[in-house]
């Protein structure tokens, strides 16, 4: 069965800390891995990763994919209270439209 | 561009009633996807529709659930005779084609509560 597992399920840190969120997957016909941020409403797109070892970066957020070990990490440096959200990882397979979603990591940043 | 619009934002139904959830895709998008999110769980695919066609309904329960995307108007997800287990957030997403390059654009969701 195709599955995506995220860890930790929840994480509480202080403002300014650096966090690393994990996403591992077991799917047939992997095509790409996507990260989303969800703040009590619609998930918003962060990154899409298709190639191993190439870091994607956007401000304080970065992500990388390891297709050999079947996982990705999402890093957030110098965290701010506005980073508090659920971070979702999803894997897209060759069917082109279906995404398999992880349960998310709930990140809480304390001031 | 107003983005993907879902309504209502919150819907409360008693057991046995019907729930109708609406989704208007982004302008120019003809592909609509419905997902369900239970508390503390990830999004689960339900159904994929194009205008007037259901392409894939493999994630939708065979009983009580139906979906449509008519030529005119929004896509509708219909749940008949709701039960407590149907309480969840239902998200709609849209894309301009089947070639999803950067993931979907999601609506803000409808939170269904069955009492």
Distance from CA of A3 to the nearest CA of B (A): 11
Please state the rounded mean pLDDT for residues A84-97. 85
Query: What span, in angstroms and rounded, lies between the C-alpha atoms of A6 and A24?
Result: 6
Of A42, A45, A101, the CB nearest to B107: A42
Cross-chain residue pair A97–B98, CB shorter than 8 Å: yes
Grouping H, G, I as helix, E, B as strand and the rest as coil, residue B101 is coil
> Nearest 5°: CA angle at B24, between B19 and B28?
155
Tens digit of each residue's pLDDT (9 = 90 or more) over A17-47: 999 999 999 988 898 999 999 987 788 889 9
Distance from CA of A34 to the nearest CA of B (A): 7
Greater confidence (A92 vs A84) lies with A84
Check residue B89 and report its DSSP letter: E
Cross-chain residue pair A97–B102, CB shorter than 8 Å: no
pLDDT in tens, chain B (115 residues): 568 999 999 999 999 999 999 999 988 888 899 999 987 778 888 999 998 899 999 899 999 999 999 988 999 999 999 999 999 999 999 888 765 656 678 899 999 999 9
pLDDT at A96 over 90: no
CB pairs under 8 A between A and B: 57
Cross-chain residue pair A48–B103, CB shorter than 8 Å: yes
Using alpha carbons, select from B48, B103, B86 the residue that is nearest to residue A88: B103
pLDDT at A10 over 60: yes
pLDDT value at residue A26: 94
Greater confidence (B36 vs A98) lies with B36
In chain A, which residues have their Cβ closer than 8 Å to the Cβ of B44? 101
pLDDT value at residue B42: 81
pLDDT value at residue B3: 87
Please state the rounded mean pLDDT for residues A7-24. 97
pLDDT value at residue A29: 85
In chain B, which residues have their Cβ closer than 8 Å to the Cβ of A36? 103
Tens digit of each residue's pLDDT (9 = 90 or more) over A37-79: 998 778 888 999 998 999 999 999 999 999 999 999 999 999 9
Cross-chain residue pair A103–B31, CB shorter than 8 Å: no
pLDDT value at residue B39: 79
Q: How many CB atoms lie within 10 A of CB B71?
A: 6
pLDDT value at residue B109: 94
Grouping H, G, I as helix, E, B as strand and the rest as coil, residue A50 is coil
């Amino acid at each position: 069965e195709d599955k995506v597992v995220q860890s930790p399920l929840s994480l509480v840190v202080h403002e300014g800390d650096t966090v690393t969120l994990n996403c591992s997957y077991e799917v047939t016909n992997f095509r790409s891995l996507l990260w989303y941020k969800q703040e009590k409403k619609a998930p918003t797109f962060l990154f899409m990763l298709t190639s191993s070892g190439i870091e994607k970066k956007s401000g304080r957020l970065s992500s990388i994919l390891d297709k050999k070990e079947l996982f990705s990490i999402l890093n957030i440096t110098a965290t701010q209270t506005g980073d508090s959200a659920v971070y979702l990882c999803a894997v897209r397979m060759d069917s082109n439209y279906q995404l398999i979603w992880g349960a998310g990591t709930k990140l809480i940043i304390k001031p | 561009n107003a983005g993907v619009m879902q309504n209502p934002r919150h819907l409360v139904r008693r057991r046995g009633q019907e729930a109708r959830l609406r989704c208007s895709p982004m302008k120019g998008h003809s592909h609509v996807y419905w997902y369900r999110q239970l508390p503390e769980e990830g999004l689960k695919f339900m159904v994929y529709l194009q205008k007037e066609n259901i392409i894939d309904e493999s994630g939708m329960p065979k009983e009580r659930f139906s979906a449509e995307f008519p030529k005119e108007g929004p896509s509708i997800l219909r749940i008949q005779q709701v039960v407590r287990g149907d309480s969840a957030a239902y998200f709609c997403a849209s894309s301009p084609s089947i070639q999803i390059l950067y993931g979907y654009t999601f609506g803000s969701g409808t939170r269904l509560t069955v009492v």
